[in-house]
């Protein structure tokens, strides 16, 4: 085969406000976490169950700036990107694992809540790493 492609889509709630860093090489990276929960009813006990998976999300360049501006703890977000599992030892030298998602784009979901102070909330708008301007800018199309 000529190549492979993998894409992961997650929808969940932001677990912490974003942290943005300007690196020495001039790149900008923004990190935040997203909790993705799955609910089901146990067939044997008939109890409601929930399982939550945490993703560490990283955005780069222009997408990092936008994420830092709009992403907030508790907001619902859809993130599309490439996932990578990482194994490491925690502070007590116990093996741990994390799922990291390098975002290609994200979309804020849900509605703006009254009184939340985010006057420029843009729920439903999609943000991606496509360059600004040029033929990729479709915002002026009336449909």
Query: Which pTM does this prediction carry?
Result: 0.73
Residue 129 has, within 13 A of its CA and on its CB side, a CA count of 15
Beta strands in the chain (DSSP E): 8-14, 19-22, 28-41, 48-60, 76-89, 95-108, 126-128
Domains and CATH numbers, the chain: 8-136 (2.40.50.140)
Q: What is the pLDDT of residues 103-142, one digit of tens each?
A: 999 999 976 654 444 444 445 666 676 554 444 444 544 4
Could you give the CA distance from residue 28 to residue 72 in angstroms, rounded to a whole number?
18
- Name which residue leads in pLDDT, 88 or 74: 74
């Amino acid at each position: 085969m000529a190549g492979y492609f993998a894409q992961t889509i997650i929808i969940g709630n932001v677990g912490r406000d974003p942290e943005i860093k300007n690196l020495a090489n001039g790149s900008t990276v923004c990190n935040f976490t997203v909790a993705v929960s799955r609910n089901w009813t146990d067939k044997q006990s008939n109890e409601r169950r929930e399982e939550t998976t945490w993703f560490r999300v990283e955005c780069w360049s222009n997408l990092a700036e936008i994420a830092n501006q709009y992403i907030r703890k508790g907001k619902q977000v859809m993130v599309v990107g490439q996932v990578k599992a990482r194994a490491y030892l925690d502070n007590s030298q116990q093996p741990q694992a994390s799922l990291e998602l390098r975002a290609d784009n994200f979309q804020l979901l849900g509605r703006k809540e009254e009184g939340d102070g985010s006057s420029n909330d843009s729920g439903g708008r999609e943000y991606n790493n496509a360059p600004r301007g040029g033929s990729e800018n479709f915002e002026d199309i009336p449909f």
